[in-house]
Amino acid sequence: MRKNCEREKVMVAMSGGLDSSVAAALLKKRGYDVVGIFLRLWESEAYFEAEKNAKKVAKILGVPLHIIDAKKEFKKEIVDYFLRGCEKGYMFNPCVKCNPEIKFKFLLEKMKELKYDWVATGHYARRRREIQNSPPEADQPLAEKLQISNKLQVTSYKLQATYKLFQAEDKNKDQSYFLYGLKRKQLAKIIFPLGDYKKTEVLKMAKKFKLPEFRKEDDSQGACFIAEKYPDKFLKRNLKMRKGEIADQQGNILGEHQGLPLYIIGQRRMINIGGTGPYYVIKRDFKNNLLVVTRNVKDPKLYGKSVKLKKVNWIIRKPKFPFKAKVKIRYQHPAISATIVHSSQFTVCGFYEVVFNKPQRAAAIGQSAVFYSDKGELLGGGIMKEAQK
C-alpha cells in the first residue's frame, strides 16, 4: 500500500500541442509526480516542431521528458496499413488503429518500465471507475468470512472495479470516437484530465499556466502523417495511380478520374466534369477501373439501410443481441439511432451488423461505426466493411 507521503506518479503523453500541455500542467497542479513522454512517430517539419514544443513545455513545467522513437512501428502498423486499405478501396481512420496499437501500447509499456501508476493524455473523453459488491457466482471463489464478533459473521464479497468511457463534457471536441479500440485492462491505467472541461476553459488555463502560444494547426484532427488537409497528394506520392473513365449509371462516359483510391462513396471533390455538376460518387469498380457518379444528391444508391462490421471491440462486456444504441459512422457525424445485431447463421464466428432506423448517406467502408448509450457511454465499435442498400 502506498505511504501517505508518496505522490502518485503519472506519465503524460506530451505531443507538443495545446491539449496535452494543459493536461500535464493540470496534473502537476493537482499534486501528481509528472513525467512527460514524446512519441516520435514520423519524419516531418510538423513533428520536429512538435518535439521542440514538447521540450519547451516540459522545461516551463519543470518535468522530465522522455523521447520514444516509434517511427518504424508506426510506419508498418499505421501508415502502410492505411495505404494498403486505400489501394483496395478502404479509407481507414488511422487514429482509430493508432491509439490502442501504438500510442497507448508504448505508453503503458513505458509506464511499467518507469514504475509509474498512470498514463494520461490530452484526449477529450471521460473515464469513470465504478466499484460494485460482486456476489459469489459459480465461477467465482467465495470470499473469506470476516469475524466481527464471537457470534456474528458476515460474508465479504469481492469488490470489483468497472471502467467505463464516456463522451467529454465538450461535445464539439469529444474524441471518444477514436478510443473505442481500447481494452478495459488498458482503461484501468488511463486518465483523461480534460474530459470535464470545455475547450474555451482549456485555452484560458493555457494562459494561466503561462504555456507558449500554439499554432491553430496543433489542434487539427487530421492524420498526423499527412501534411495537407486532404489525403490526395499523400496518396499520389505513395501509390501508383491508374487514370480511368468516369461514367453515369446508364454507362455514358463523362470524363476521366485520377485514380480510384482518391475517391470515397458520396464524394464530390475531384470529379472534374465541366459545367454539368456537381456529381457524387456512388460506385468504384476496381475490376474495370471505372468511377460511377450521379448528379442526384438524394440518389438511393448513396444511402444504406445497414452495414456489416469487422474487427469489433467491446469496452463493455459483450451485450445481448439485438440491442439498440446511438451510432456514429464518422467522427463528426451526429450519433443516430440503430440496432446492433449478431448472426452466426453463415459463419463460425458470425458477423455484426448495424441496422439504421433511417437509411444513412455515404456509410464509407473502412471508416468506423462507434456505439454509444443514451447517456453518452462508449460501448464499442468496429470497421464498416459492407453497406446494404
Residue matched to cell numbers 488511463: 190
370 burial class (0-12, 13-18, 19+ CB within 10 angstroms)?
A: buried
Residues with Cβ within 8 Å of 141's Cβ and at least 6 positions away in sequence, in order, are none
Q: Is the dihedral of CA 198, 200, 201, 203 positive or negative?
A: positive
Q: Is the peptide bond before 278 cis (omega within 30 degrees of 0)?
A: yes
Residue 271 to residue 295: CA distance in whole angstroms = 11
Q: Minimal CA–CA distance to 193: which of 123, 248, 143?
A: 123
Does a cis peptide bond (omega within 30 degrees of 0) precede residue 322? Answer: yes
- Catalogue the active-site residues: 98, 224
Neighbours of 138 (CB within 10 A): 4
Which grid cell sits at 172?
464539439
Complete DSSP assignment for 114-126: HT-SEEE---SEE
Taking the C-alpha atoms of residue 38 and residue 67, their distance in angstroms, rounded to an integer, is: 5
Compute the distance between CA of residue 91 and CA of residue 89 in angstroms, rounded to an integer: 6
Q: Phi/psi at 266 (nearest 5 deg)?
A: 90, -10
Q: How far is CA 245 from the centre of its chain?
A: 35
- Crossing angle of helices 45-61 and 18-29, in 10° steps, is 20
Cβ atoms of 331 and 221 within 8 Å: the answer is yes
How many CB atoms sit inside 10 A of residue 139's CB?
5
Specify whether the backbone of 173 is left (phi greater than 0), alpha (psi in -120 to 50) or beta.
alpha
Angle at 258 between CA 253 and CA 261, to 5 degrees: 110
